[in-house]
Structure 1
């Protein structure tokens, strides 16, 4: 049995195929059972047409999303495109049921526009222009998308009312690293577009809650990095920031001191040996029988805990600044699983409010 993961097609590809089929129907042309779609790399794919409907001055077609073996929340959903004629000579995009609207600056699509990304727009336009050069109104819907969007980054990106129509290549690659990085880049872009020059980087939800407990966090100041620290720090190095705060658990952030910028457990070493080594150097010995970084810290007396936390935070700051040649101050705050501070390095008063 093969262990190769099966790929699929993006919502953008589904929307483009549905748009072409609906446009054919609108102009009274035969609609095939499957649309042959040309992807951005000039390869061709066949996507099945479902639920063709004719209405007063419009036609709509559904294409079922197949994300392959990727855990995409839209897998199995219908992407429904409705096409009608427009008095204008251009194509106008509208958000139908389950497709969100952009509300914040910093994304590839300006506020007020349907959350249909540039690459899918180009794919849709290319697909319908094979049928007509007339002006069209194209409405993209994903029934149930409003509920599915709550399980995505969209609420944090200021996309309201539903999902985004995404995809740059037209294909879904299972567990795509690029897709994760693109989501993080969008979040950081919103932060910058909102005029924030002192962002707070955290690994995820637990770090976000700890940051909100420890500091006065402004709207859009937090950026959840996941495991992509090298990727985001490289982006940050090119921006005119005034200062930067990294906050998280030492089990994650100490990996940065080790020069490991992708902190996923499958792609990086455990931080525990490094924490034990630093604890031994600093305090003469490390607690025995502690299989986790959290357990090691909790086994220490408060003063020793703070001393170790401060020392590790210093190492993280040094590693970050040296590696990315940052031209602005960096502060690191280490917190435990409860959000309590274990140590820090660098000025923190700027985030106290």
Structure 2
């Protein structure tokens, strides 16, 4: 009886996976159909059908350009970015055994922003480095600094260790944010400074199809690496000793997973700036819905992160008529209360 009950429970838990593609397609369609200007849903579907080679109707060039080159490309990149950031938060929370760990709070986003701005504005690398490479170098530097600072402060396990890591991340974030501001003040023109400061708050307005050639493979890579190491993430959630007792190569696994999380964050920062709280809110919400096992939690987190950022982008475009808000503002308005809830629940435990 227990075996049959367990089998039925597993089937129910995995049943939603069959709905995942439909949910993702619906979110992308919603992100394409809703925007600053009203376009009928029938027109949106007609344009998508013609662009996909499923029709030959005459299209209005303005509507076609808005739907295909602006809204759909933006929705695709938002979905990939949301999945990447959510998976980065999930990986960091498991490796560090810290429910508050995520790229934004640990300074990884701030370091990636500094690296990207250093390459784009200060001209470091003499044109040989891309913004993505600069962002990746900044993200790794920030994480190494936060880890070294937490170790020097004597961070251990439990709530004290979690607090030390978060405090180290806050210090690292402030330092890299200050470095970014210094670089902008020293090297950027007034027009550049305005554009960069808006970009740093999280901005998808300039996203087009070429950005998807980077965002889509990165999201697929992050999902693949996390799924491949789902068993290791389960073990790390109980501590490094538990992972080692199962025969997991700690150093190799940690380097690969942290490198993947840092690269995913860096790629998203180089495309759309720093978008906070996605990696904090989404993994915790999915743990409540599908449980702590990473074999289910990883795909659920990726899907929810993609949908969450697409919906946040839609809200950023329509919440104030005639004005587009930075998407980081919307995610922060949702993430800040969630951050408080996580802290309160941790203290109660």
Larger Rg: 1
TM-score, normalised to structure 1's length?
A: 0.21
Whichever structure has more helix as a proportion of its residues is 2
Whichever structure has more strand as a proportion of its residues is 1
